[in-house]
Amino acid sequence: MTVSAKMSKLGTETAFDVLARAAALAGSGMDVINLGIGQPDFPTPPHIVEAGIRALKDGHHGYTAATGIPELREAVAEDIMARRGVAVSADHILIMPGGKMTMSFAIEMFGEIGAEILYPNPGFPIYESMIRYSGATPVPIPLLESAGFSFKAEDVLSLITEKTRLIIINTPANPTGGVIDRAELQKLADGLQNWPDVFILSDEIYSRMTYDGLGHCSLLEFENIRDRLILLDGWSKTYAMTGWRLGYGLWPASLIEYAKRLCVNYHSCVNSSAQYAGVAALTGDQSPVDEMMTAFDERRKLIVGRLNDMRGISCVMPKGAFYAFPNITETGMTAKEMQDLLLEKQGIATIAGTSFGASGEGYIRFSYANSSDNINKAMDRMSAAMTEIMGA
């Protein structure tokens, strides 16, 4: 058998491996608390589920347009107007099977041998994986704890070369919970004036998930880069719909036809009942989103407080998403050793920071999308393990 060489370049998302291992341990009788996988522990709100069921009962069983049903594309355009204050055409919106596919398409469009793509590190692992797969060279944008898991625009701009084709920005961020503030994004957009051929993929899948009244700054707000910005968002996190596989991309005029072709080649269209559910999500009652965020905020404070009480662990307060990214360097353990110890010995599923890139060494990611009781139970267990390692 001879598979193409690029197959060996594909990485993975360790969260799914940890999920499988956690399920196996639970199957063998271990009480496992899952703080690994990045998905809300809330059910999809009932009115959204109802809309999906109704669509099936109403006979929406066939293919839809490859771009998505018009009602949903319109609803997305209205939502972008309402939340980001920018008028966009529904013709530039593509409904996708999850948020991930927009990033894959963007990377595929620009990536090839000789090209460079900038991406956040630590960051969502699929960025680096897909960049390598495309043949392009991944150029990490380091997100350091000392910089609040953000970056200085000048540092990002200094990484751009004549070979740079695409820059990936993710705010609020996985795995750090960091948020890049408006002033820095403005500086980045200003600096990009000098690089008119560089496109930007803005992964805003956590756009509705910020705390302390921070709100969200979208890169779409900066007019000078709008004609080369690809915006990624979706329903997975905001509406607790990870398993429905529904997301969207907003594409600039210069790329939309390529993106449509990729849709037709890769997936034809998105599950039609999920698309009707997506309309109900955007146009219906938003209070379930607010309630979920209130719960996440309480858990955020709980888990960060508990982590900071442990010897050897320090954790900055995340500003967005639902992840805590504590520093474990004082324990002398690697991120992978800590992940394995917590899972195999303590029954706590977490993800090693190195799963998100080399800059994640010395950190582990906790998803606090779990009940306060479970978070407390996990923290009790971990605290006991840390006392054993570090001494009382």
The two structure tokens encoding residue 210: 């910020």
Cα(358)–Cα(257) distance, integer angstroms = 35
Closest CB to ligand PLP among 199 and 248? Answer: 248
Q: Which of 391, 330, 325 is nearest to 363 (CA)?
A: 325
- Which candidate, 109, 168, 175, places its Cα nearest to that of 141? 168
Q: Which is nearer to ligand PLP, 64 or 176 (CB)?
A: 176
Of 100 and 319, the one with the shorter C-beta distance to ligand PLP is 100
Contact pick of 52, 111, 125, 247 for ligand PLP (by CB under 6 A): 247
Here's the x/- map for ligand PLP, 33-72, by CB under 6 A: it reads as -----x----------------------------------
Nearer to ligand PLP, 67 or 331 (CB): 67
| Residue 174 near ligand PLP by CB under 6 A | yes
Q: Please tell me whether residue 98 binds ligand PLP under the rule CB under 6 A.
A: yes
372 HSE (CA, 13 A, CB side): 11
Burial of 82 (0-12, 13-18, 19+ CB in 10 A): exposed
Q: Are 122 and 353 in contact (CB under 8 A)?
A: yes
Strands (E), the chain: 33-34, 93-96, 116-121, 137-142, 164-170, 199-203, 229-234, 247-250, 323-324, 348-349, 351-352, 364-367
178 interacts with ligand PLP by CB under 6 A:
no
Which of 34, 104, 171, 236 is close enough to bind ligand PLP by CB under 6 A? 236
- Three-state SS string over 84-147 comes to HCCCCCHHHEEEECCCHHHHHHHHHHHCCCCCEEEEEECCCHHHHHHHHHHCCEEEEEECEHHH
Spatial CA neighbour of 226 closest among 261, 254, 203, 204:
254
Q: How many CB atoms lie within 10 A of CB 97?
A: 19
Least spacing, CB of residue 366 vs ligand PLP, in Å: 14
Task: Choose among 356, 322, 351: nearest CA to 17.
Answer: 351
If one asks whether residue 164 binds ligand PLP (CB under 6 A), the answer comes out as: no
Q: Which stretch binds ligand PLP (CB under 6 A): 95-103, 267-275, 331-339, 373-381?
A: 95-103
- Quote the least distance from Cβ 175 to ligand PLP, whole Å: 8
CB of 235 to ligand PLP, least distance (A): 7
Supply the minimum distance, in Å, between the C-beta of residue 133 and ligand PLP.
16
Please say whether the beta carbons of 136 and 112 come within 8 A.
Answer: yes
Q: Which of 44, 150, 170, 367 binds ligand PLP (CB under 6 A)?
A: 170
Minimum CB distance to ligand PLP smaller for 178 or for 312: 178
Residue length of the chain: 392
Q: Do residues 348 and 382 touch, judged by C-beta distance below 8 A?
A: yes
Stretch of 4-12, 98-106, 287-295, 377-385 contacting ligand PLP, by CB under 6 A? 98-106
Residue 148 CB, nearest distance to ligand PLP (Å)? 18
Is 210 a binder of ligand PLP (CB under 6 A)?
Answer: no
List 73, 92, 100, 208, residue binding ligand PLP (CB under 6 A): 100
242 binds ligand PLP (CB under 6 A): yes
Binding region for ligand PLP (CB under 6 A): 38, 98-100, 124, 170, 174, 203, 205, 234, 236, 242, 247
